[in-house]
């Protein structure tokens, strides 16, 4: 266990409680290690820490419109590469037809998030229906295919050379966020048995990002039963019940859904806003300097971002301050509605990500300048929320 140097101190005008009771006329910025799990310092600034005039060089906040990626990909191995490093690969699969072959990922567990459409999954373990908002975790080397009911857009998150696990839930217990009993598994049902047969079947295997094909004289999805605890699981993002505090804005790590090796997957879902008058009610500025932050926007009104719509991705590499857009800051202490109305998937990656070809082709070049304000931005008074 690593032991950080911990010397908590207070200097100048500062709050004694993070994310609450900020000194009048200030903006808070959290400097933290290990993705909000390590030591941290709260800075209090006279200006928004994202109030820049411009950017030069390769490092900057980026956004991509994945709806611009062409559809018609007949195999997940044709999915468009978005972002990747040695531990995680993000691809976007736009499929408008049923698969005529099976696939198997020998490079790691695969997490699929169904953004649009519906499909029927057939895999080693049986049959499972998929709808918009579903997460589906497929263990490494699971054979599978989908039959498309309506065209699907899928975010694919590969845990390269690793395995997905569930987060430790500590004081709140194992039933928080979602009860493990909410996880659905494939069934050997009539639909699964009906697709079995003596027809020639191809299995396209991905190993070290290279493809090989094995052909069987029969359909290898021919199981008649199984038992064990290594199995695909499905949960819909709308079944996730977020941890909340009415007195303090919680960090993104409180919304962790799955753990990968050197990255986490979090789910942002509707929740009530904080009600304590002194608590900030927008995401706090933060220097999450050990992680790259990626958010895929699924549905709803993304209250801390301007001009972001479903199907977009934002990528904020480490090295600069992340935080809400200027318009959101006007509602820092007082919101105009009782709660958030957004569904989004966040990936926090411990190692630097590289941009794929599809991301580069769909980048919104002006995004880095979207924090510019036509005039000075001043911190709203805490009294406004009293």
Reference 290, options 76, 14, 33, 7; nearest CA is: 33
H-run or E-run covering 53 = none
How is 56-106 classified by DSSP, letter by letter? -SS-S-EEEEGGGS-----SGGGPEEEEE-SSEEEEEEEE-S--SSEEEE-
31-65 burial string, b = 16+ CB within 10 Å, else e? ebbbbbeeebebbbbeebbbbeeeeeeeebbbbbe
Residue 373 contacts by C-beta under 8 Å, 6 or more apart in sequence? Answer: 51, 326
> Six-digit token pair at 378?
């001043």
* 286 labelled ligand-binding: yes
Distance of CA 9 to the CA centre of its chain: 34
Backbone dihedral angles phi then psi of residue 41, each to the nearest 5 degrees: -130, 140
* 292 labelled ligand-binding: yes
Answer whether 243's CB lies under 8 Å from 255's CB: yes
Count of beta carbons in the 10 Å neighbourhood of residue 14: 16
Answer whether 276's CB lies under 8 Å from 282's CB: no
Catalytic residues: 249
Instruction: State the Rg of the chain over Cα.
Output: 22
**Ranges of H-type helices in the chain:** 190-194, 326-329, 357-361
How is 187-206 classified by DSSP, letter by letter? B--HHHHHT--S--EEEEEE
User: What is the C-alpha separation between 288 and 239, in angstroms, rounded?
Assistant: 28
Q: How long a stretch of residues is the chain? A: 386
* 322 labelled ligand-binding: yes
Backbone dihedral angles phi then psi of residue 360, each to the nearest 5 degrees: -60, -35
Q: Which residues are annotated as a binding site?
A: 286, 292, 322
Binding-site residues for Fe cation sit at: 286, 292, 322
Binding site for homogentisate, residues? 322
């Amino acid at each position: 266990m690593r032991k950080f140097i911990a010397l908590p101190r207070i200097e100048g005008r500062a709050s004694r409680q993070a994310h609450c009771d900020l000194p009048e006329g200030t903006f808070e910025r959290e400097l933290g290690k290990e993705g909000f799990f390590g030591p941290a310092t709260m800075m209090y600034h006279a200006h928004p820490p994202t109030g820049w005039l411009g950017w030069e060089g390769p490092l900057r906040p980026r956004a991509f419109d994945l709806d611009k990626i062409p559809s018609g990909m007949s195999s997940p191995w044709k999915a468009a590469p978005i972002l990747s490093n040695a531990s995680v690969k993000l691809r976007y699969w736009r499929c408008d037809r049923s698969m005529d072959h099976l696939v198997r990922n020998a490079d790691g567990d695969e997490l699929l998030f169904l953004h649009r459409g519906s499909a029927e999954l057939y895999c080693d373990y049986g049959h499972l229906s998929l709808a918009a908002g579903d997460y589906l975790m497929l263990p490494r080397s699971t054979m599978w295919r989908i039959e498309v009911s309506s065209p699907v857009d899928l975010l694919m998150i590969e845990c390269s050379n690793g395995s997905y696990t569930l987060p430790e839930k500590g004081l709140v217990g194992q039933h928080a966020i979602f009860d493990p009993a909410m996880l659905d598994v494939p069934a050997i049902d009539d639909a699964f048995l009906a697709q079995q047969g003596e027809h020639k079947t191809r299995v396209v295997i991905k190993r070290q990002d290279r493809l090989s094909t094995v052909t069987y004289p029969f359909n290898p999805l021919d199981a008649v039963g199984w038992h064990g605890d290594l199995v695909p699981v499905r949960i819909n993002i709308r079944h996730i019940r977020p941890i909340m505090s009415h007195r303090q804005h919680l960090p993104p790590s409180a919304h962790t859904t799955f753990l990968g090796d050197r990255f986490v997957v979090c789910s942002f879902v509707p929740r009530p806003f904080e009600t304590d008058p002194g608590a900030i009610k927008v995401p706090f500025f933060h220097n999450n300097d050990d992680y790259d932050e990626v958010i895929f926007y699924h549905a709803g009104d993304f209250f801390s971002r301007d001009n972001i719509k479903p199907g977009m991705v934002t990528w904020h590499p480490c090295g600069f301050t992340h935080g809400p857009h200027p318009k959101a800051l006007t509602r820092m202490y007082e919101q105009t509605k009782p709660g958030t109305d957004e569904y989004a998937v966040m990936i926090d990656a411990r190692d630097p990500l590289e941009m794929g070809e599809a991301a580069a082709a769909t980048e919104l070049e002006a995004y880095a300048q979207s924090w510019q304000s036509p005039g000075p931005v001043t911190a709203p008074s805490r009294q406004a929320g009293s």
